[in-house]
Amino acid sequence: MGVGREVAISLDAVRDKNLMQLRKLNTALFPVRYNDKYYADALASGEFTKLAYFSDICVGSIACRLEKKEGGAICVYIMTLGVLAPYRGLGIGTKLLNHVLELCSKQNMSEIYLHVQTNNEDAINFYKKFGFEITDTIHNYYTNITPPDCYVVTKFITQPQPKK
């Protein structure tokens, strides 16, 4: 890269017309196939699901589902977050996750969580950098991949208190 030339990383909403991009990324990135409910949830989450572009090439995505907890509070479940291997380490995953964390903060959502395969050290370390912690282990969560166990990785977001 030339000196001073910054490559733009941009985020775009997922809509019906570009949903195929998300499907193609998921096929390349993940060892499981996602059903229609996954895509319906991704579309329904609005701003919480984004495609990431590096120099106008679609290279990553985050897809979330909004869930109602007991008591009516909404929490965010990260269904998938992935970046194509040649584009990792460029801040794309960070930009995607920060986008969702900022939305959670703005919308007073206090919890965001996901499942991570127990042997996925890179993902576990990535989320820990953002204040996520392992809060549970689920045995035999995955049916067609080894190991079948996952961690529940959670971040509790403390909302800024109004100044008195």
Please give the positions annotated as active site.
77, 115
Which contacts (CB < 8 Å, 24+ apart) does range 156-163 have? Answer: 156/110, 156/111, 157/101, 157/104, 157/105, 157/109, 157/110, 157/111, 157/112, 158/110, 159/105, 159/108, 159/110
- Asked if 48 contacts 32 with a C-beta cutoff of 8 angstroms, the reply is no
Say how many C-beta atoms besides its own lie within 10 A of residue 77's C-beta: 17
Tell me the C-alpha distance between 151 and 90, whole Å. Answer: 26
